[in-house]
Structure formats: C-alpha cells, structure tokens
Amino acid sequence: MAYKNFTVETDSDGIALVTWDMPDRSMNVFTEEVMEELNAIVDTVTADAAVKGTVITSGKETYSGGADLTMLKRMLGQFEKDAKKDRQKAVQTLFDNVGYMNKLFRKIETSGKPWVSAINGTCMGGAFEMSLACHGRVAADSDKVKMALPEVKVGIFPGAGGTQRVPRLTDMQGALEMLTSGKNLTPQKAKQMGLIHEIAAPDQLVAAAKAMIKGGLKAVAPWDEKGFKAPGGAIYSAAGANLWPPAIAILRRETYGNYPAASAILKCVYEGLLVPFDTALRIEQRYFAEILQTKEAAMMIRSLFVSLQELNKGARRPAGVPETTFAKVGVLGAGFMGAGIAYVTAKAGIPVVLLDRDIEAANKGKAHSDNLISEAVKKGRAKPEEKDKLLSLITPTADYGDLDGCDFIIEAVFEDSEVKKGVTEKAEAALPKTATFASNTSTIPITSLAKNSKRPDQFIGVHFFSPVDKMMLVEIILGKKTGKEAVAKAIDYVRAIKKTPIVVNDTRGFYVNRCVLRYMAEAFQMLIEGVPAPMIETAAKMAGMPVGPLALTDETAIDLAQKIMKQTIRDLGEKAVDQDQFALINTLVDKHGRFGRKNGKGFYDYPPKPAKKKLWPGLKDLYPQKDADTIDIEELKQRFLTVIALEAARVMEEGIVTDPREADVGSILAFGFAPFTGGALSYIDGIGAAEFVKRAKALQRKYGAQYKAPKLLVEMAEKGETFYVRFDPYAKSDVKAAA
C-alpha cells in the first residue's frame, strides 16, 4: 500500500522499515492524515505474518517536531463553537479526539510485534511519546539529536502517554524535572535516564535498530509485564514520601499556580503511578482534555507557538522583495551592544567588520565574543572548532575602508545624535550603494537620524536588547522614509541570526521600552506609597513576571532611569515626568550613590558571589511603611499587568504596533510579560475589554492617570471586540497565515 507521508520497506529478515518523510513540510509533524496513515501501517505490519518487527525513522534531517499545534488550535476553535450549543457533548468529543494519539501509540505497544524507534535528529513532543511506546529506542550519536517533551512551554502537557511512560522508565524526580521544564535531552542524558536503550553512529542507526529486533527484543513494555515496579519506587514508599511534598512546593515556588498544565503533570504522574497502565492513560487523557479547555492553553498556543512561528518565518516581511543572504555585516561601535551584536552575527556564520574609534576598542569588542564562546566550549555547549570559526569571522578595525562590501550596517555608537551623524556619513562614503544602514538607538527617533543619511529609504532602526546573546527579540523601527527593501533586509537579518523580529513605527521608546518604563514606574509609585519593597517584587513575580521591577531597574541601571527622566523633562517639560518618582531616583543616585547592579548598589545590595543579592534595607527609611497586612496583594499583581497592558493598547491605538501578534510575542520575549496570559494584548482579550476597562477605571480612581483606558479600549468594550478581531492579522493580503 502506498502512503503519502511514509514509505514501508520490508527486508529479507522480515523487518519493516517505516520512514516518515512528509512531502510538503520541512519537518515531520503529527497531523490527522499522518495519524491515520500510521494507524493503517500498524494494522498492516501486525497482520502481515512475514513481518517480524518494525523500525520507524525519519527521512528528514530531523525526526519530528511532534504534534502539529495548528491542528490543536483548530480543534480548540471547533470546541468553542460546539460548546456554545451543547457543552457536555463538545467536551466528550474533545476527550475522544485527544485520545486518538494515545490509543494509536498503545496499539503499537501492544501489537505483539517489536517496534524500534531510530531517532536520527530532533525528536519532540508527540514523536518522543511515540518513541517511548516503541519497545526499543536507539538515538544517533550526534549534536543534532535532541529529545524533549516541551509541551508545558505552550500551556499544555505531554498527553499521549508521556506523563505515564517517563516515570515508569526513570526515577520520579528526573521524570518530574523533565516533564515540568520541557528541557532538551542529549542522547547521552536520555540513555543515562533510561529513556532510550542505545546510542549508535549516525550511519549505523537503522542497522542498530534492526539488530535489536534480530537480537530478540521483547514485544512487551516493561509495565505490561507481571510484577512491574517503577524504577523510582511507588508513590507510597519512603522515596515517594520524600519527593512529593517538596515537589509540590517547588512547583508552586516556580509558577505561583499560574500554569495549570504544570500542576496537571504532577497530578498525572502521582495518580497514574497508583493504578494499572491503561487506567493511568485514561487519567492522563482526562487531565489533557481539561487543560486544553483552559484560557492559558489557548493563549499560550496562539502566542508562543503559532504567532511566534509566523513571525520567525517573516510574517511581516513585505512581499516581492528578494531574500538577502548576507555576505558581510558591519557593526559600528564595539561597546556593550556592538560587541554582542558582532557575536550573534558571527555565530550565524556571517562575516562581521567590527569598527570602533581605535583598534584597541575594536579588539576589546571582539574579546567579548572570545569570552562568550570560550565559556560555551568550557561547558561543552560548543566545540573548539566552532570557536575558531566564529572568531575568524570577526574583523576588528578602526578603518572605514573595511566596510566596503557590507550589505548591512548596524550602528551602536554612543547615544548622541552628533556622534551618530559623524559615523553615518563616514560609513556611507565607504559602503556600496545597495547597503542598508540600521541604527540600534534606544531613544532617538529613526526619522531624525535618517536625516544624516543620503539614502533615507535605506535607513532603519534595529533595536536589540541586552544581553544581546540571550534576548530573542529585535524591534525593527520604521522611519518616515524607510523603504520596503530596507524592512525586508532587516527582517532577513534578524531571521538569519535566529531572533524574532517585530516591526514598529517610530516613536519615543518604540514599543518595548514604553511598556517596561510603565512597569518600573508603577513599582516606584508603590515604594512611594509605602508598600514594602519585598512585597512589590513578590507581587510582580506572583503576577507572572520573571524579574521583579526593582531588580529589572538595577539591571538596566538606576542612573539610566535618571538620564531618561531628565531627557524627557528637557524634551517634553516637567509634567511629562512624575516629580515624586523623579525625586526618588535622584535620592538613590545623587544622595546614596546607588546606580544599580553595575556598582553593586541599587534597589538591591550585591555582595560578592556566591552570596545572593538582597533588597537594600535603606529602602524602608525612604517612605513611611504601610503595614503589609493591610495591602491587597491581588491588587498589586493586577496593577502591574494592567499598567503594562494599557500601554500596549495605547501603542496599538497610535498605530506604533499594528499587528497584535507582535505586541503579544514582543511583550513576552522582551520583558517576560506573564507568559501564561499569551502577552499584553491577549491579557486584555482574555479578561474581555469591558471587564478590563472597568478594572482600569477603578484603579485610575485610586492610583492615577496611568490607568486611563485609551479610547480604543473603551470602544472595543462597547462593541465587545477583541484585539485579534479588530486588528485581524490574517486579514492583510501581505501577511502569510498559518497553514
């Protein structure tokens, strides 16, 4: 029988080799069609007396990315529609649908003939769960092989047997860590955990898998054998008693109960290990169907999978401009940011010219790359030859002539218009006519910097975040005259360095910093109100923010906050800055010399390592302190998310960001806006505009104008609209929709 997504060849030993290779996709994924075909294959090989066993592998470089989450998104869309008519029936259908994969994998496991999964490359989610249902697992000894059950990162969990098979193969603690973190495993780590059986040379992979079958591999899973005991012991054992109470506490500490899927994993493992395997699978299926109905799952799948993937593929790239392959990129200014930009560019295999005022400064910038890659080599994350290659790609210089041949320039010199003007003119004189010039400015409007250029249509903003090697977002800023070729090229560049681009119109603070400043300002206001600093930081974390606002201000520097305030007063007048907050920052910087992490003294004290940072006790003396018991922590949490979301809504109203996917994904990648909400706009959509506006009004009455809802939101509340309906990203013709 012929299949569209698989080939099946049986060799003279009676071993069927099933090769998964979807013709229309770059990566194999589980779709309805794939599952149906696999089901037919299982039936065929089981019924065929000539087949002794089956090896399943992939015909692509990767094994599989797991389930196609757009399929899940569609399933959830259908569920919502059906639930409006008959909720109980819709839930039953959802439960049955999500059980299909589980049943299919169980069918492989109980087919009576041995199956071996030959894992040749990245093997994620459902594909790893399928492998776990095979009787044998061999992985290729290659850096390209990564295995993980990463579902928790998008608000769901491994619902095709993963929560049951993993803790029956490895110790409970290892299983919980793997399932709740979604972290990648190398073949060595997976073997050490007992999750795979063998590691083979890549060109011997299928042979090794076949040899397992020829060697008499039993077609029975360990848990289907009489007397099976989980390797980590039973739930009601000394080991179980030691593990579970802290496991629950640790999860709470890490998630503050914001991630229902993570809690469901613990419940599945705990309850599942108490019962026979088939009952355990059913428990998992029930929790999975429940989790799929949560707002968190819907929002996280949309933003952190579907939208993120679309933006990474260049959803906002103007149509009709040929793609650029970068021959050489120039970075002007080898300081803090420029050095990081040079590193990520070279890491992507692109030659970089790193220019500074003198060769010493340029060399110093290159040394940053040396430090980062040397550290990676030390930790086993990179090979020595990768270090050599990366460093060979960076040419430090003080000579503008070396910029000849660059297709793309990123300027990261001092934040000073005059200095930027000088380097722009000198660089343009040396550059080919086709080169695009991008500035990494954080505050100066691109339109005004473009005036320094002879070709403003090729002038654009490319705004990185620090630390450049870690932060995955880049804002692309459009000046008034920026042409579509420059936009396309900037997007191509950001994609080439494997970061996520969002396209933003020119304004003070662009998108991200406008929101971040609101977050910090709200914390300053709370301090002034007398809210104890530890409560401010904890409330923000409980709301889902990864870094408290005071810690974040320390990272970016308090004197920078002071500089921004002073500049804003110069540009827009005194009223543009809250004078009480200005006084707080001035006191910290001018009176107490507290600049932030950089001088070891900020809102926190930074003692020498390994001691941990601690909030500065002096904060208590700056303002009369409220009694913590009189403060509503829920309100503090709400204030942080609301004040940021309102700014994101204003940015949409002003047309600075035009696509809600970019506002959402940007807010999560740049400053970790409570990921379980799906991002700053999804937070509003999830609450509903009407309810959100009501909350904002109540907060405005108590705390001030920062909570004033923009007209846009008031109108959306009246019409019952969401951002994704009003600014439908798929309605535009130049935007590629998800398959």
Stretch that binds ligand NAD, among 249-257, 385-393, 436-444, 725-733 (CB under 6 A): 436-444
Residue 588 binding ligand NAD, by CB under 6 A: no
Cα 637 to Cα 544, 549, 645, distances in angstroms: 9, 12, 13
Rank residues 94 and 450 by Cβ distance to ligand NAD and give the closer one: 450
Are the beta carbons of 481 and 457 closer than 8 angstroms? yes
466 binds ligand NAD (CB under 6 A): yes
Cα(407)–Cα(561) distance, rounded to whole angstroms?
35
Minimum distance from CB of 596 to ligand NAD (Å)? 12
3-state secondary structure labels for all residues of 572-617: HCHHHCCHHHHHHHHHHHHHCCCCEHHHCECCEECCCCCCCCEECH
Q: CA–CA separation, 460 vs 452, rounded Å?
A: 12
368 is a catalytic site residue: no
DSSP string, 607-658: PSTTSPPEE-GGGGGTSPPPPGGGS-HHHHHHHHHHHHHHHHHHHHHTTSS-
d(C-alpha 708, C-alpha 700), whole Å: 6
Minimal CB distance residue for ligand NAD: 335
Beta bridge partners of 33: none
d(CA 588, CA 467): 25
d(CA 245, CA 480): 58
Which of 301, 304, 382, 413 is the binder for ligand NAD (CB under 6 A)?
A: 413
Determine, following the binding rule CB under 6 A, whether residue 546 of this chain makes contact with ligand NAD.
no
Question: Residue 101 interacts with ligand NAD (CB under 6 A)?
Answer: no
**CB of residue 335 to ligand NAD, shortest distance in Å:** 2
Do 577 and 586 touch, CB atoms closer than 8 A? no
Which residue in 18, 56, 348, 412 binds ligand NAD (CB under 6 A)? 412
Judged by CB under 6 A, which stretch of 36-44, 349-357, 389-397, 704-712 contacts ligand NAD? 349-357
Near ligand NAD by CB under 6 A: residue from 338, 509, 544, 602: 338
Region from 387-395, 417-425, 590-598, 683-691 binding ligand NAD, contact rule CB under 6 A: 417-425
Of 419, 472, 528, 535, which one interacts with ligand NAD (CB under 6 A)?
Answer: 419
Does 423 bind ligand NAD (CB under 6 A)? Our answer is: yes
Q: Select 303 or 395, whichever has its Cβ closest to ligand NAD.
A: 395
Please choose, from the candidates 428, 309, 415, 318, the residue with its C-alpha nearest in 3D space to the C-alpha of residue 29: 309
Does 63 sit near ligand NAD (CB under 6 A)? no
Decide: 42 and 111 in contact? Cβ < 8 Å: yes
> Which of 41, 156, 337, 487 forms a contact with ligand NAD (CB under 6 A)?
337
Which CB atom, from 183 or from 426, has the smaller least distance to ligand NAD? 426
SS3 348: coil
- Contact map string, positions 297 to 326, toward ligand NAD, x by CB under 6 A: ------------------------------
Count of other CB atoms within 10 angstroms of residue 466: 13
Q: Please identify which of the residues 135, 197, 463, 592 carries the catalytic annotation.
A: 463
> Which is nearer to ligand NAD, 441 or 682 (by Cβ)?
441
> Would you say 185 and 247 are in contact if contact means Cβ atoms under 8 Å apart?
no
Let me know: does 428 contact 453? Beta carbons within 8 Å: yes
Q: Shortest Cβ distance from residue 311 to ligand NAD (Å)? A: 20
β-bridge partners, 56: 18, 117
Interface with ligand NAD includes 333 (CB under 6 A)? yes
Taking CB under 6 A as the binding criterion, the range among 20-28, 439-447, 485-493, 588-596 that sits at the site for ligand NAD is: 439-447
Residue 269 contacts residue 175 (beta carbons within 8 Å) = yes
Is position 336 an interface residue for ligand NAD (rule: CB under 6 A)? yes
Of the candidate residues 37, 198, 356, 647, the single one contacting ligand NAD (CB under 6 A)? 356
Q: Does 335 bind ligand NAD (CB under 6 A)?
A: yes
Whole-number Å distance between alpha carbons of 184 and 337: 29
What whole-number distance in Å separates Cα of residue 424 and Cα of residue 65? 44
> Does position 414 bind ligand NAD by CB under 6 A?
yes
Interacting span for ligand NAD (CB under 6 A) from 242-250, 416-424, 478-486, 632-640: 416-424
Determine, following the binding rule CB under 6 A, whether residue 357 of this chain makes contact with ligand NAD: yes
Select from 479, 568, 575 the least CA-distant residue to 517. Answer: 568
Q: What minimum distance in Å lies between the beta carbon of 420 and ligand NAD?
A: 7
Residues 441-460 as x/- pattern, contact with ligand NAD by CB under 6 A: xx------------------
Give the span between the Cα atoms of 43 and 154, in whole angstroms.
33
The correct pick among 221, 334, 410, 551 for binding ligand NAD (CB under 6 A) is: 334
CA 732 to chain centre: 25
Choose between 142 and 443: whose C-beta lies nearer to ligand NAD: 443
* Interaction between residue 727 and ligand NAD (CB under 6 A): no
Tell me which stretch binds ligand NAD (CB under 6 A): 49-57, 60-68, 354-362, 672-680.
354-362
Q: 4-9: long-range contacts (C-beta < 8 A, 24 or more apart)?
A: 4/33, 4/37, 5/33, 5/34, 5/37, 6/37, 6/38, 6/41, 7/59, 8/41, 8/44, 8/45
Helix (H) or strand (E) holding 521: helix 512-529
Task: Give the count of beta carbons closer than 10 Å to the beta carbon of residue 429.
Answer: 11
The single residue among 177, 415, 469, 653 that binds ligand NAD, judged by CB under 6 A, is 415
Determine, following the binding rule CB under 6 A, whether residue 342 of this chain makes contact with ligand NAD.
no
Smaller CB distance to ligand NAD: residue 464 or 519?
A: 464
Smallest gap from Cβ 359 to ligand NAD, in A, equals 11
422 makes contact with ligand NAD (CB under 6 A): yes
* Encoded tokens for 295: 């707002």
**Catalytic annotation, residues:** 463
Q: Which residues bind ligand NAD (CB under 6 A)?
A: 332-338, 355-357, 361, 412-415, 419, 422-423, 440-442, 463-464, 466
